[in-house]
Amino acid sequence: MTSASYPVPVDGLHHLSNETRVIATPWSRMVRGIGLGQYPIAYDPEGAARIRHAFDLLAAKGVEENAYARFSRLLADFVLDVGDPARPLRRADLEQRLGPILDAVRAGENPYFRLMAGCILMDAFAKLELDTTLLVNAGTDFPAEMLAVADTIEPDRIKDENAGRHGHYEKLSAYSAVFLALGQLGLEDRLVSGRRNHVREALGLLERIPAPFFRGRGGAMLLSVVSLLGFGRFIHGEGRDHLKEVLSYLDRADELNSPPAFPQPMSESFTKIYPLLTMLNAIAMSGRPEEYLTYGRDRLAEAKELLARITPVERTHMGLYYIIALHNLGRLDEEVPDLNALVEDIVGQWVHIDPGANYFLNGISYAYILQTAMLTGRTDLIGDKTLDRLVDGFPDLDRTDDDRVNRPYPFAYTLNVLAELGSSHLLFEPRDAYDGSTPIAWVIDRLSEGGRDEHRLYMLHHALVSHALRMRGPERGETPLFRDFPMRNRSLAGRPA
């Protein structure tokens, strides 16, 4: 059986929802926790049991000493119960269940993760179509509480290979998440009314991110969210144009000589194409592409040139960004006259890539390969050998301490995309590569006690919560925030698969 035989949530670019077009790539979902639960499907008791089993395994490893882990389990269980048609919940039930979830959010010591948890909860409320007064009432104003948390996020607190070089990148990302969450609840006017204009303040943080890579990648999502909320006047009004300023800053990358570090060596062209492609999507969201695509230089020509210069394995990461950006701009047919050939080249790289060689460059490449095939309607390019090679590759990440500690990173990406392909069961069934154990049990069993060493373990929680949120039922489709946003090529977007 090939994966084309499995049910998939979309069958081509013209069936993509607006949320997928804005937040198409797994990076935003797994790393930042925004856009979880895309492609809603019917409640699946077996799938729900797998999610709960995974959280049981994590709890047995002691990870729930961490408030974020507790929050994730409580929220996933709550979401699954709301989505289960056999368990109708009354308002009193929802209130009772919500209390421990809010406690877990507030117990987080790290303000960024506290805000991220709160935003995931608000986004879930919108997607589950729950009554907002459960979060905003005489006794509490949870959205305001989370917005205030952003003020406490300090610069250069991210602990990764670029520690000390981010500036206000994390705070900027937090603003993107909380703005989006408030918009999902229909509370976006709060951001620009009253004594503070939070949108203006967030845009002001762009110039406080020193590295062009991070200013472009983080700034693109903020600019997209601001456009989505209908506040584009703050981007290109009031005597300046923040989008043009970011593009100009990207053009100074060689002069500034502040390239990002990656877990594996990456080409110079990769460090340039990544922020550029995210900015192309922000340009599409702005509704003013003609004004920006030739600002400073021909941005589409630049993107095409850089895509040709990056390595084939790097192209598996960036191909999806490129295709979605061009589709959103309405320029895909013009820039890629033979889309099938490009997709076949990207997906076909799985034959040459060992997913267990390292946790980042190779380790997450298959997730991008599979999602590129799915979103372009080419799952016929994926067979059992592709999936087996991916699923069986995680023991190889014992090669170095760095790969071992970061194994949850590619495992989260893999769980996320296999769930979208209807194939997550492969991670929950015994396999020879794991000496008869299941991949999920094997990976979790090899975590440090309490998951203290694996600082990216939270990404696995995001994959599980997203999987649970998808089971809310196809009738709970796009939220009004995304559904009502005008985008190009909109004819079939947003319809349930």
pLDDT digits (tens, 9 = 90+) for 240-271: 999 999 999 999 999 999 889 899 999 999 99
* Confidence grade of residue 25 (pLDDT, cut at 50, 70, 90): confident
The pLDDT of residue 496 is 33
Q: What residue type is 227 in one-letter code?
A: S
The pLDDT of residue 9 is 78
Q: Is the pLDDT of residue 165 over 80?
A: no
Q: Is the pLDDT of residue 163 over 80?
A: no
* Confidence grade of residue 280 (pLDDT, cut at 50, 70, 90): very high
Question: Could you tell me which residue, 35 or 158, shows the higher pLDDT?
Answer: 35
Contacts of 50 (CB under 8 A, 6+ apart): 424, 425, 428
Question: Mean pLDDT, to the nearest integer, of 435-446?
Answer: 98
Q: Is the pLDDT of residue 22 over 70?
A: yes
The DSSP 8-state label assigned to residue 136 in this structure reads: B
Q: If DSSP codes are grouped into helix, strand and coil, which group holds residue 406?
A: coil
285 alpha carbon, distance to own chain's centre: 17
* Confidence grade of residue 492 (pLDDT, cut at 50, 70, 90): very low
The pLDDT of residue 157 is 66
The pLDDT of residue 4 is 42
Nearest to 421 by CA among 457, 470, 460, 461: 470
The whole-angstrom separation of Cα 28 and Cα 221 is: 9
Question: Mean pLDDT, to the nearest integer, of 277-286?
Answer: 97
* Confidence grade of residue 24 (pLDDT, cut at 50, 70, 90): confident
Question: Could you tell me which residue, 11 or 95, shows the higher pLDDT?
Answer: 95
Query: Are residues 351 and 363 in contact, defined by beta-carbon separation less than 8 angstroms?
Result: no
Question: Mean pLDDT, to the nearest integer, of 311-334?
Answer: 98
* Confidence grade of residue 238 (pLDDT, cut at 50, 70, 90): confident
The pLDDT of residue 495 is 33
Q: If DSSP codes are grouped into helix, strand and coil, which group holds residue 321?
A: helix
Q: Is the pLDDT of residue 390 over 80?
A: yes
The pLDDT of residue 2 is 44
* Confidence grade of residue 8 (pLDDT, cut at 50, 70, 90): confident
The pLDDT of residue 159 is 66
Contacts of 317 (CB under 8 A, 6+ apart): 270, 361, 364, 365, 368
Q: Is the pLDDT of residue 489 over 70?
A: no
The pLDDT of residue 481 is 98
Q: Is the pLDDT of residue 160 over 80?
A: no
* Confidence grade of residue 185 (pLDDT, cut at 50, 70, 90): very high
The pLDDT of residue 146 is 98
The pLDDT of residue 3 is 42
Report in angstroms the alpha-carbon separations of 431 from 55, 57, 393: 20, 18, 11
The pLDDT of residue 128 is 98
Instruction: Let me know if 421 is exposed, middle or buried by CB neighbors in 10 A (0-12, 13-18, 19+).
Output: buried
Question: Mean pLDDT, to the nearest integer, of 374-389?
Answer: 96
The rounded mean pLDDT for the chain is 94
pLDDT digits (tens, 9 = 90+) for 100-142: 999 999 999 999 999 999 999 999 999 999 999 999 999 999 9
